[in-house]
Amino acid sequence: MDLTKATEVAGPMISALLGGSGLWVWLQSRASKHHAIDDLILGIARTRIITLGRYYLERGYILIDEYDDFYNYLYKPYVEMGGNGLGKRIFEEVEDLPMLPKGSDGRKET
């Protein structure tokens, strides 16, 4: 097949594909689903930050390795996804807690 024939066939096909509403509806539904997944993850992270944060606040201290996990694997991604509000306030209160070295809470180190 020469180039002119390929252009004659491909032109209308591409036009029909891009001009049809089906493609745009599919793309929009993917974007909507992606947004819902982001909201769900953000909500789960917020709940976990509040639950863990309140636990640490009631206990009155946080271990250094707990803080590292709390910050790097929970709070930091939460903020990067747009989280704020109560999760941020709880984190700021946790930051003010005394930080103890690993093993200083009476538990065995693993």
Percent residues over pLDDT 70 in the chain:
74
pLDDT band, residue 4 (cuts 50/70/90): confident
Surface-to-core class of residue 57, CB atoms within 10 Å of its CB (0-12 exposed, 13-18 middle, 19+ buried): middle
Residue 19: pLDDT band by 50, 70, 90 thresholds? low
Q: Is residue 90 within 8 Å of residue 49, measured between CB atoms?
A: yes
Q: Using alpha carbons, list the distances in angstroms from residue 55 to 34, 59, 85, 93.
A: 32, 6, 18, 12
Give the pLDDT mean for 75-79. Answer: 94
Mean residue pLDDT of the chain comes to 83
pLDDT higher than 70, residue 60? yes
Q: Which tokens sit at 103?
A: 């093993």
| Strand residues in 1-110 grouped as ranges (E) | 62-63, 99-100
pLDDT for residue 9: 75
The residue to which tokens 């946080």 are assigned? 62
